[in-house]
């Protein structure tokens, strides 16, 4: 399998080259040259464990890593999950909730980032190289990325987060990691500001090459690929229905784009319900075909407080018939005018049902799920569950992805359900630990100088 950029300036990369490049050197995102149809192989995958299934689903996209070696990398990636199924399915009021938060940092990002950490280590060892990871997080990506690479030889990680805009627990999960190869950087601004810094620095190709920068954000194809797996896993846990729908709490579009890829691979997934909060740029796009940036609204579901979804460009590439010229023109227009529109929103556009939830509705959803079904949900899962119920077809199984353990958002859950017990031992253990972070300006030159000084 070879990889190319959505903007046409990069092609012919191996899987390992794509993983190490992260963001394409022409400013686009890397995608496979083809998407394999695995529908004829589904029967052979029945009964596999999660790690075994992950190896099978991802293998067609790899090609340049020995199959036995790759399988062992995948098996190692899931050894630290707290549930034997990795991602169990729980029936809550007729909606099936897929719990993706049983990894080391209690968030769905662990599913991909434990794998990516093992993958980076393997490639760096094989090539005798070093890697400086630069990432931006709205909360969960940072801690999951750090957990995936902390202490690993040949890797440094620099994680930017919007100061005061993650939950206190999310910040502690990052800043209590004191390993010498971990650097946490707080930015006075929004996640979009952090993401813009990341892209600006990555687009300085000379700096990127000199300091061997790599990405752990969902701009890295391997992140998306690992997330494709749990859509197949869900179908098998549902006993292989003729079709099913999935409601996906959506911020950066990586989680739901993985579902799009799974459907392209032949999984009988009917609809993807794009669930977002008041930062509704994606909901508005799928309702109108207009992609228009607004002001970031800070909410109770902070991982979705995003106005520029980094994985949207990958979807756009396929929506535009894999036309890199049209894709680049659309993204350049959006960059300069803050607004771009699809001329004919057809085809893949119809695979999505998109909707937004207010902050008040999010709190009511947390409260309602608890009172009606005795199930505690974090605010992002509550957004997804609210829209799963709203858009549910009684004749088609509906799944909601649970993206984080509720204890990671204890303040919001307490607001919705005063007095509820909401703890997790691994989070309680963070209280009182020493923390370390560095505040830096929202300035790419300042960020580059910080990296230079530590490399």
Q: How far apart are CA 305 and CA 30, in angstroms?
A: 24
Q: Are 250 and 256 in contact (CB under 8 A)?
A: yes
Give the pairing of strands 290-292 and 339-341.
antiparallel
Q: How far apart are CA 449 and CA 455, in angstroms?
A: 10
DSSP state letter for 220: S
Dig out the tokens for 214 from the structure: 């790599």
Q: How far apart are CA 31 and CA 386, in angstroms?
A: 32
Helices 140-149/109-127 angle, 10° precision = 40
DSSP-based three-state secondary structure for 134: strand
Catalytic, out of 71, 109, 199, 271? 109
Q: How far apart are CA 55 and CA 75, in angstroms?
A: 8
Q: How far apart are CA 59 and CA 115, in angstroms?
A: 13
In what helix (H) or strand (E) does residue 90 lie, and over which residues does it extend?
Answer: strand 89-92
Nearest 5°: the CA angle 335, 338, 340 is 90
Q: How far apart are CA 102 and CA 132, in angstroms?
A: 27
Dig out the tokens for 273 from the structure: 């319900």
Q: Pseudo-torsion of CA 334, 337, 339, 344, nearest 10°?
A: -70
Sign of the torsion formed by the C-alpha atoms of 388, 393, 395 and 396: negative
Q: Which residue has the tokens 């969902």?
A: 218
Q: How far apart are CA 452 and CA 207, in angstroms?
A: 9
Candidates 85, 79, 145, 109; CA nearest to 404 is 109
Known active-site residue 109: yes
In what helix (H) or strand (E) does residue 365 lie, and over which residues does it extend?
Answer: helix 359-373
Catalytic residue set:
109
């Amino acid at each position: 399998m070879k990889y190319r950029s959505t903007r046409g300036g990069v092609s012919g990369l191996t899987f390992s080259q794509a993983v190490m490049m992260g963001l394409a050197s022409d400013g686009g995102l890397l995608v496979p040259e083809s998407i394999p149809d695995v529908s004829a192989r589904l029967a052979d995958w029945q009964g596999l464990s999660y790690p075994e299934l992950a190896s099978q689903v991802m293998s067609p996209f790899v090609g340049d890593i020995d199959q036995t070696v790759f399988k062992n990398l995948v098996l190692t990636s899931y050894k630290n999950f707290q549930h034997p199924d990795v991602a169990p399915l729980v029936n809550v009021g007729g909606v099936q909730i897929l719990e993706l938060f049983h990894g080391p940092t209690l968030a769905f990002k662990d599913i991909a980032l434990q794998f990516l950490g093992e993958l980076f280590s393997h490639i760096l060892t094989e090539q005798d190289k070093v890697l400086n990871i630069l990432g931006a997080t709205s909360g969960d990506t940072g801690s999951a990325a750090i957990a995936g690479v902390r202490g690993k030889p040949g890797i440094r990680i620099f994680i930017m987060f919007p100061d005061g805009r993650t939950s206190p627990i999310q910040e502690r999960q990052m800043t209590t990691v004191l390993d010498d190869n971990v650097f946490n950087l707080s930015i006075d601004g929004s996640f979009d500001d952090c993401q813009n810094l990341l892209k600006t620095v990555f687009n300085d190709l000379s700096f990127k090459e000199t300091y061997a920068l790599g990405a752990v954000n969902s701009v890295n194809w391997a992140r998306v690929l690992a997330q494709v797996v749990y859509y197949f896993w869900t179908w098998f846990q549902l006993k292989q229905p003729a079709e099913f729908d999935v409601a996906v709490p959506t911020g950066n579009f990586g989680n739901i784009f993985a579902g799009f890829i799974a459907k392209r691979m032949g999984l009988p997934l009917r609809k993807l319900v794009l669930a977002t909060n008041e930062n509704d740029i994606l909901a508005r796009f799928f309702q109108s075909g207009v992609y228009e940036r607004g002001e970031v609204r800070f909410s109770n579901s902070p991982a979705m407080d995003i106005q520029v979804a980094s994985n949207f460009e990958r979807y756009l590439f396929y929506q535009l018939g894999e036309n890199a010229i049209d894709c680049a023109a659309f993204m350049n227009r959006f960059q300069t005018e803050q607004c771009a529109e699809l001329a004919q929103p057809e085809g893949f556009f119809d695979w999505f049902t998109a909707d937004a939830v207010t902050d008040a509705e999010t709190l009511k959803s947390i409260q309602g799920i608890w009172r009606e079904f005795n199930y505690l949900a974090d605010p992002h899962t509550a957004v997804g569950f609210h829209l799963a119920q709203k858009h549910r077809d009684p004749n088609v199984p509906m799944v909601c992805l649970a993206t984080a353990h509720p204890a990671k958002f204890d303040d919001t859950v307490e607001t919705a359900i005063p007095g509820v017990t909401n703890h997790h031992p691994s989070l309680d253990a963070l209280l009182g630990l020493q923390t370390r972070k560095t505040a830096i300006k929202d300035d790419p030159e300042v960020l580059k100088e910080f990296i230079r000084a530590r490399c």
